Structure 1
Amino acid sequence: MIFRKGELFCGPGGLSLGASMASVEALGEEYKVEHVWANDYDAGACATFRHNICPENPDSVIHQDVRELDIERLSAIDAFAFGFPCNDYSIVGETKGLDGNFGPLYSYGIKVLKSHQPKWFMAENVGGLQSANDGNAFVQILQEMESSGYTITPHLYKFEEYGVPQSRHRIIIVGIRKDLGWKFQVPKAPFKDSSTWKTSRQALEEPPISDDAMNHDFTQHQGKVVEMLKYIPPGENAWYDGIPEHLRLNVKGARLSNIYKRLNPDVPSYTVTGSGGGGTHMYHYGQPRALTNRERARLQTFPDWYEFLGGKESVRKQIGMAVPPLGVKIIVEAILKSFAGIEYAIEPAKWDDELHLMLTSGERLKIPTLI
């Protein structure tokens, strides 16, 4: 059984790559996912997606603002994915939620569900979604997914427990069309024990990255930055007490913990991000420099053959905003096993006990969507 997949906010293709890696077999039949169409407003991300996911069908990737996309005319699909923009839900920033410019964009995913009625969908966002607008944004989004005809299973996935060498916590909502008569179960995290987590050293060194690897350009730092980094031990940041006074940053106000923070080689990395200026590019544990984009891609579990197109900063943004393919593979495999009738180890969804209450409590927020 092949599930034909459409995707909004596709980014550089992390979710699609993970989905394409998932495959199960039952009674001689293979269950897998096939790309049909994708959309994003970022030109670099679209170019990367075309280059790696569907080079034989570049027109299937639509570079366009989702608000101008004719959703009803898109090809029929059996599966749908959307990592709707997280800018307004992230704990880093103003957390405007549904009141922001990006917050209401999830509603275009709802429009796809209502128009195309795929058999299943997968939506992804940051953990901050659960607290945006005092928690009301999360409730509203879940209510709209459910009322579109889906039995939903939201869960906070800790990707380091799914083999990703990075502490990255994301809400993923899987929905199964109600007429199919069953509910998705969260696959048990294979690496619950922290002693089994993949470390940043393993990600960057096993195997070593070749000197001529794609997207492996080094940053030319100012001398003062290099000297400061030499005083910062692995796992520490620009506020480390051992940095000489003349090398310290002259910064007033909040001291963000990821400023010039070096990786700890013995644990998963901290979260790879796509935004932020100097000092937020992630820093190597053994060398006084920022990580290359290829190293950042390794932490996101992209294979070395996956080439990101665009300028260096565009690529950095693409990598940071992507969903780790390895984590997606495990979740999509569980979806495929469900359809194939194959049992797998499960764990309770984070909001199992509260979900019914969230879906039936009160009126939705009176916030207009963009549709």
Structure 2
Amino acid sequence: MILKKGELFNGPGGMALGAKNSRVIDPKTGEEWRIEHKWSNDYDPSACDTYRLNICEDAESDSVHHGPVQELPIGDRSVLGDIDCFAFGFPCNDYSQVGEKHGLNGTFGPLYSYGVKVLKAYQPKFFVAENVGGLQSANEGQAFIQILTELQECGYELTPHLYKFEEYGIPQARHRIIIVGIRKDLSEDGVEFKVPAPTTPSSADYKTSREAITNPPIPENAFNHEMPRHTAKVKEMLSYIPPGENAWYVGIPEELRLNVKGTRLSSIYKRLDPNRPAYTVTGSGGGGTHMYHWEELRALTNRERARLQTFPDDFVFCGSKEAIRRQIGMAVPPAGAKIVFEAILKSLVGIEYEWVPPAQKLQLETLLGKRKVDTEKQPTQEDQKEKQVAFNI
């Protein structure tokens, strides 16, 4: 059984690679269930080139549509054919904990609505949506509730969960909300998605940054493995920073310290702790934000960052060094995506697997129930007048 997948905001293909690598054998029929790319879209031309090369296996594929999602002819089967499943990691800029968190009021916040548009037009069997953990608190929690409500109203049973990827063998402390939706008619027939249980629940078993980057060693001629260059001053400052510490380590001489205030807990010039998973790989930021080696006096290469994101060494990223860094930092770890997609396929086939309840804060009934209560508690005109009088007093 081949399930055709559509995708918005495809990035370099982290989600797509996880889906592509997913395989489940139906124990009753012996049939293999897998997922294949049908069409996708992204605004980043370099990301589209990377996706074509690695996911489509055709650098000239016209199934990857570069351009604003607003201009995509969603529902036009002559351009975007029918699909069985759908994935969208809608842009996280306005929901991230780093930044101003505009939420639904930001430039990128409303883009999830194009995923809703796809669901209404195609009614795929299931979908997978991904975003940062900050989505929970954007607009005082109302953004998350609104998004869940609109996805549910498309005709899907939802399972939102905050995945801590280090608990799933990813060598990185990356926490992301993933929403899985199963079409209601399938749900009524007994298909139930459950959150796959962590594969490494004990922190003692987490995969470390050292293991990810050095085992096996990265060949010197590996793709996207160009060594960064630094000034003598930066190298000297790094020499005083122990693994796991940043530019505000007390042992740094005064003349080498940064003249920046209010960021002592940041990741600026922070060196990896080789005995723990990496801190979150990011795709943007200026000097000092590129992630730093625990031993060598330098930032990581793009290939080392890709290792932390679980991209295989034969996955070639296209574009400039900064464009590639952005792609890697914005991607979904393929190994994490594979776990989710295989759990969905098992749910469709009827194969049991180990699972855990969704994170308590993301219980859908609680969230949507909160919305109903909040709506019922909307202040009347009398309440507003009393509040204004009290304020003036």
Find the aligned partners of 1:236 and 1:189 in 2 and give their Cα distance. Answer: 28
Mapping for residues 189-208 of structure 1, pairs under 5 Å: 189-208=198-217
Indicate whether 1:134 and 2:140 are aligned: yes
Find the aligned partners of 2:341 and 2:285 in 1 and give their Cα distance. Answer: 31
Give SS of 1:195's match.
Answer: helix
In the TM superposition, what is the alpha-carbon distance from 1:141 to its structure 2 partner? Answer: 0.3
What's 1:72 paired with? 75
Mapping for residues 256-335 of structure 1, pairs under 5 Å: 256-335=265-344
- 1:195 counterpart letter in structure 2: A
Q: Which moved more, 1:20-29 or 1:297-306?
A: 20-29
What's 1:179 paired with? 185
Q: Which moved more, 1:250-259 or 1:181-190?
A: 250-259
- 1:69 counterpart letter in structure 2: L
Residue of structure 2 aligned with 1:213, choices 203, 222, 227: 222
Q: Tell me the alpha carbon deviations over residues 134-168 of structure 1, each in whole angstroms, 9 at most, x when there is no partner.
A: 00000000000000000000000000011100000
Q: How has the CA–CA distance of structure 1 residues 211 and 354 changed in structure 2, closer, same or farther, with 3 Å as cutoff?
A: closer
What's 1:367 paired with? none
8 A contact 1:154–1:351 mirrored in 2? no
8 A contact 1:273–1:317 mirrored in 2? yes
Indicate whether 1:59 and 2:62 are aligned: yes
Indicate whether 1:9 and 2:9 are aligned: yes
Structure 1: unaligned runs, 5 residues or longer: 365-371
Give SS of 1:294's match.
Answer: helix
- 1:127 counterpart letter in structure 2: G
Find the aligned partners of 1:274 and 1:153 in 2 and give their Cα distance. Answer: 28
What's 2:120 paired with? 114
In the TM superposition, what is the alpha-carbon distance from 1:81 to its structure 2 partner? Answer: 0.1
| Rg (Cα) greater in structure | 2
8 A contact 2:145–2:368 mirrored in 1? yes
8 A contact 1:153–1:183 mirrored in 2? no
Indicate whether 1:239 and 2:248 are aligned: yes
In the TM superposition, what is the alpha-carbon distance from 1:7 to its structure 2 partner? Answer: 0.2
Give SS of 2:139's match.
Answer: helix
Q: Which moved more, 1:176-185 or 1:314-323?
A: 176-185
Find the aligned partners of 2:260 and 2:367 in 1 and give their Cα distance. Answer: 42
What's 1:31 paired with? 33
Find the aligned partners of 1:355 and 1:156 in 2 and give their Cα distance. Answer: 12
Structure possessing the higher relative contact order (Cα contacts under 8 Å, 6 or more residues apart): 1
- TM-score, length-scaled by structure 1: 0.96
Percent identical residues: 64
Find the aligned partners of 2:203 and 2:211 in 1 and give their Cα distance. Answer: 15
Structure 2: unaligned runs, 5 residues or longer: 377-393
8 A contact 2:167–2:200 mirrored in 1? yes
The Cα RMSD (Å) is 1.3
Q: How has the CA–CA distance of structure 1 residues 277 and 132 changed in structure 2, closer, same or farther, with 3 Å as cutoff?
A: same
Find the aligned partners of 1:353 and 1:332 in 2 and give their Cα distance. Answer: 20
What's 2:95 paired with? 89
In the TM superposition, what is the alpha-carbon distance from 1:351 to its structure 2 partner? Answer: 4.0
Q: Tell me the alpha carbon deviations over residues 32-70 of structure 1, each in whole angstroms, 9 at most, x when there is no partner.
A: 100000100000000000011113361010001001111
In the TM superposition, what is the alpha-carbon distance from 1:255 to its structure 2 partner? Answer: 3.4
- TM-score, length-scaled by structure 2: 0.91
8 A contact 1:152–1:183 mirrored in 2? no
Q: Tell me the alpha carbon deviations over residues 111-148 of structure 1, each in whole angstroms, 9 at most, x when there is no partner.
A: 00000000000000000000000000000000000000
Find the aligned partners of 2:312 and 2:6 in 1 and give their Cα distance. Answer: 23
8 A contact 2:158–2:364 mirrored in 1? no
| Count of aligned residue pairs for this structure pair | 364
